[in-house]
A and B are shown apart, each in its own frame.
Chain A
Amino acid sequence: MLRIAFQMLVGDRAKYLTLISGLSFVTLLFVQQGSVFCGLMLRTAKPVEAIGAPIWVCDPTLQAIDDFKPLLDTDLTRIRSVDGVRWAVPLFMRQVQVRLNDGKFQTVRLIGLDNASLVGRPSQMLSGNTESLLLPDSVVIGKAEMERLNNPKVDDTFEINDKLARVVGIADVPRDFLSNPYVYTTYDRALQYSPRQRKQMSYVLVAPQPGLSSQQVVENIKKTTGLSAYTADDLRWLTIWYFMRNTGIPINIGISLLLVFVVGMAIAGQTFYAFALQNERYFGALKAMGTGNFTLVRMIMFQSLFVGVVGYGIGAGAACFIGWMGSGGREKLAFFTPEQLLFISFGVTIVICLLSSLVSIQRVIRLEPAVVFRG
C-alpha cells in the first residue's frame, strides 16, 4: 500500500512540487539562519584561536575575551612560580585608535606580544615576517579588515597614539566579531601605543609542564594566585556564552527561526489539507474495499515523511552549498554549520510534516466509508 501512497503523492505533480519546494525552502532558511548564528557566535571567540596559547590567566571578574580587566605586572612572577607552569608570558590586547595618513581614525585590536618569545604571534604570514617585530616602530597587521587601514603594504606607516608604526608584515588572521583589524607588536611597544594606566597586562599566557593537563595547571593557578585561569577552550565558550546572553542576536535569530517554522507550517499544512480533501473520495473507496485505519494512517505518514526527507535533503544541500561558496571563516559571510544544526533542522522539518499531516490523519480516521456511494 505504501507504493500506492507514493503514487498518489507524486502523481499529483503540482502539490508534490509545492510541498517539496516549500519544505526545501524552510530547511534552507533554517540551516542558513542557524549557520549565520553559529558563525557569528564562533567569531566572538576568534581572538582566542588567533593567539593560540593553551592557558589564559586573567582577572577573576573577566566576562569575555574582549572584556579589558588588566592585571598587575607583579602577577606575572607569581604565576611563574605556580606548580606545573612551564612558561608564562604577558599579553597586551586592547582596542585602540589608529590615525591613518589621510587623517582618518580607525579602531584596531592592538596585540602586544612578549618581547623575548613573541608567544601568540600569527602562524601564517602573507608577506614579511614576525621576527621583524624586534625592529623599532614595527607592527604586523592582519589581512582581515585590512582595507579599513587603507590596505597598507610592508613599509607603509601610520600613527598610534601619536607614535609611528611601520608595517613589517601581513599575517593571515581570521575575521572576528568586532571586525577591527589586528595590529601585532611587542609588549613594550604596545604599552607605548596605548594610554598609560596603573594596570596594563591584559592576560598572562601559560603553557603546562610536559605530562600535565592544562586543566590541572589551571586549577593550580587559581588556587595559588586567586586569579582566574581558563584553558583556551573554556575561554572560547566563556566568550561565546557572554555574547549569547548579552546581545540581541539569539533572540533575533530565534524570531526568524520561529517565523520560518510558522511559514513552513502554513505552506505544508495548507497543501496537505488540499491534498487530503482532494483524495478523500479515494481514501473512502480504499476504506470501503477493506483498508484499515492503521494502514491509511501509515500511508499518510509515509507521504508526509517522504516529502519531508526529500525537502530536507534539497534544502540542507542548498544551504551547505551557499555556505561553501562564501565560506572559509575568513570571508565576510559568517557561516558555520555544525552537525547538530543539521540534526535539529531535520527534526524541525519532520515535525512540520507530521503536524500538518495530523489533519489528514484525523479526517481519514473519521471518514465514513459510506461516502463512496454518495455523488
Chain B
Amino acid sequence: MEHEIAAKLVDVDKNFGLGNTFVKVLKKVNLEIHSGELTLLVGPSGCGKTTLLSVLAGILDTTDGEVNVFGTRVDKLSQAKKTSFRRKNIGFIFQQFNLLPTLTAADNVAIPLLISKVPYREALKKAKYYLEVVGLGDRVTFYPTQLSGGQQQRVAIARALVAEPKLIVCDEPTASLDGETGKIVMEMFRQTALKRDRAIVVVTHDNRIFEYGDRIAEMLDGRIVSIHENKNHK
C-alpha cells in the first residue's frame, strides 16, 4: 500500500561559515518522507545527516531550496512561526536523551504538553500513560540518573510521543546504548511510535538497526546517493 508524503525536500542547499571556514554541507538534496514509515538516514560521519535532519525539523535554516512539511513551507516561516510549528508537529529524540536531570520521568515526559499550555494535572496523566506504553509505568517518579541508558531513551521516546506529533525526528537514538539495548529500544519504538499518519526519520550509522527501517536513504558528502525500500515490514 502507498503512504502519503509527509515531508518533501527540493534542491536543499546548506552552507556554513564564511571565507576560510566556508563549507557546503548539503548539496541539492531531494528527499521524500512518507507517513506510516520509518525512514533511516545513513552515511559516513560528516556527510551531513544531522544537518539534513535539523533542516527537516525546522531547527536550522536552509541556504536554498524548499522544505515542505505537511504542506507548510517551513523554510519560509519566521522564527516564531517555526517554533510554534515544531511545537505542534514535531517530536524529538536525541542521542544524549536530553532529559532534564532535576525533573522526574513523568515531568520530563510532560514537557511538550506543558509547552503547549496543557494544564499540569492533565499533562501528568498523559505522561504517565505514555510511560506505561514504553514499559516504564513503575518508574514515573524516578529521576533520569536513577534510570539505565535504555530506560532513559524510552523516557525520551515517551516524551516524543506525548504530544502526538505527526513527524518524529531522531538523531542517533541508539548510539549511546549497547547493541542489545539499542535493538530493544528500536523494537519498542516501531511498535509504539509507528502509525499510519505519522512519519519517523532516524539518523544512524549503527548498521545493527538498519533492519528496523522501512526506507533507507544513504547519504554521501552532502547528497542522497540511494534510497532502498525494506520490504520486510510490509
Contact = CB atoms under 8 A, between A and B. Distances in A.
A286 B115 contact: yes
Contacts of B96: 281, 375
A369 interface: yes
B94 interface: yes
Nearest to A1: B114
B92 A288 contact: yes
B92 A4 contact: no
Interface string A360-375: 0000000011101111
A93 B15 CA distance: 87
A4 B107 contact: yes
Main secondary structure of the interface of A (DSSP, over half): helix
Given A1-B114, A292-B80, A374-B50, A285 B87 contact: no
B95 A292 contact: no
Contacts of A8: 100, 102-103
B23 interface: no
Contacts of B115: 1, 286, 289-291, 295
Nearest to A11: B102
A373 to B, nearest CB: 5
Contacts, number: 84
A286 B120 CA distance: 17
Most buried by A among B60, B87, B88, B111: B111
A285 B94 contact: yes
Contacts of A295: 115
A198 interface: no
6 contacts: A4-B114, A11-B101, A281-B96, A289-B86, A368-B60, A374-B50
Given A4-B107, A368-B60, 11 more contacts: A3-B120, A8-B100, A8-B103, A288-B86, A288-B92, A289-B92, A292-B84, A295-B115, A368-B59, A374-B50, A375-B95
Interface of B: 50, 53-54, 57, 59-60, 80, 83-88, 90, 92, 94-96, 98, 100-103, 107, 111-112, 114-116, 120, 171
CB-CB nearest 3 A-B residue pairs:
A11-B102, A290-B87, A369-B59
Interface of A: 1, 3-4, 7-8, 10-12, 281-282, 284-293, 295, 368-370, 372-375
